[in-house]
A = this chain, B = another copy of it.
Amino acid sequence: MPIDKRVASAAQSLEGVGDGATVFISGFGGAGFPNVLIRALRERGPKNLTLVVNSATHRYSLTHELIDANLVRKVICTAARGHTKDPSAFESRWMEGKIELECVPQGTFTERIRAAGAGIPAFFTPVGFGTELTAGKEVRRFGERDYVLEPAIAGDLALIRADTADRYGNLTFRYAQMNFGPVMATAAKLAVAEVRAFAEEPIPHAQVQLPGVYVDRAVAVS
């Protein structure tokens, strides 16, 4: 049967997602947030999620809705500070001890995700050495520098945003929309892309920015 990864609705694209899932959510700097999928996930309502997302609260992302709905047990992120004067939904729950937080330097964050998708269980990095974010981690000297051993972060579900998808799941991205999307798709058991539009024809090979091999389902949202 010819490969076809396009599905009809965001709800359908999340079939099989259950409680306790580790969920990647793409987006950075205001671009690439899969907001339709985030809302569909909230409506689906799986509990005890671990979110792996650059920012626990970004003004252009709907990530906070998952937190507001009490679906989230833990957040792994690089930015946990809200953007308003008052504490965010995340910050309130975190201070109350209801949500666990792991704050990770951004390059380590993306490399740990890439590592999971690339079959690497752990790698050494100079980033974070001597800081409290790597307290307790294994340290080793290579040459004249000190490095920290960082483990991969694998996930159950990746929600990413792209511009177009073809039937094979190949993706193109607009400008800075790419950010964490590609590596998140590689590291999740189920990778779902929301796209502006489906490409009617296969995307020409030189325009593909993420091979469909990594994308399980795609849904067009406009």
Contact = CB atoms under 8 A, between A and B. Distances in A.
A124 B125 contact: no
Interface string A115-138: 100111111111100000000000
A28 to B, nearest CB: 17
A84 interface: no
A206 interface: yes
A168 interface: no
Report copies per complex.
2
A33 interface: no
A122 B124 contact: yes
A142 B122 contact: yes
Contacts of A206: 172, 207
Contacts of A118: 111
A147 interface: yes
Nearest to A120: B123
Interface string A166-203: 00000010010000000000000000000000000000
A205 B122 CA distance: 33
Given A206-B207, A207-B206, A124 B126 contact: no
Q: Which of A111, A120, A151, A205 is the most central at the interface, judged by chain B CB atoms within 10 Å of its CB?
A: A120
Contacts of A2: none
A143 interface: yes
Contacts of A124: 120-123
Contact of A125 (B120, B145, B175): B120
13 contacts: A115-B123, A119-B127, A120-B124, A120-B125, A121-B142, A121-B143, A121-B145, A121-B147, A122-B147, A123-B123, A123-B124, A175-B205, A206-B207
The 5 closest A-B pairs by CB, nearest first: A121-B142, A123-B123, A122-B124, A120-B123, A121-B124
Given A111-B118, A111-B120, A120-B124, 20 more contacts: A115-B123, A119-B125, A119-B126, A119-B127, A120-B123, A121-B124, A121-B142, A121-B143, A121-B145, A121-B147, A122-B123, A122-B124, A122-B142, A122-B147, A123-B123, A123-B124, A142-B151, A172-B206, A175-B205, A206-B207
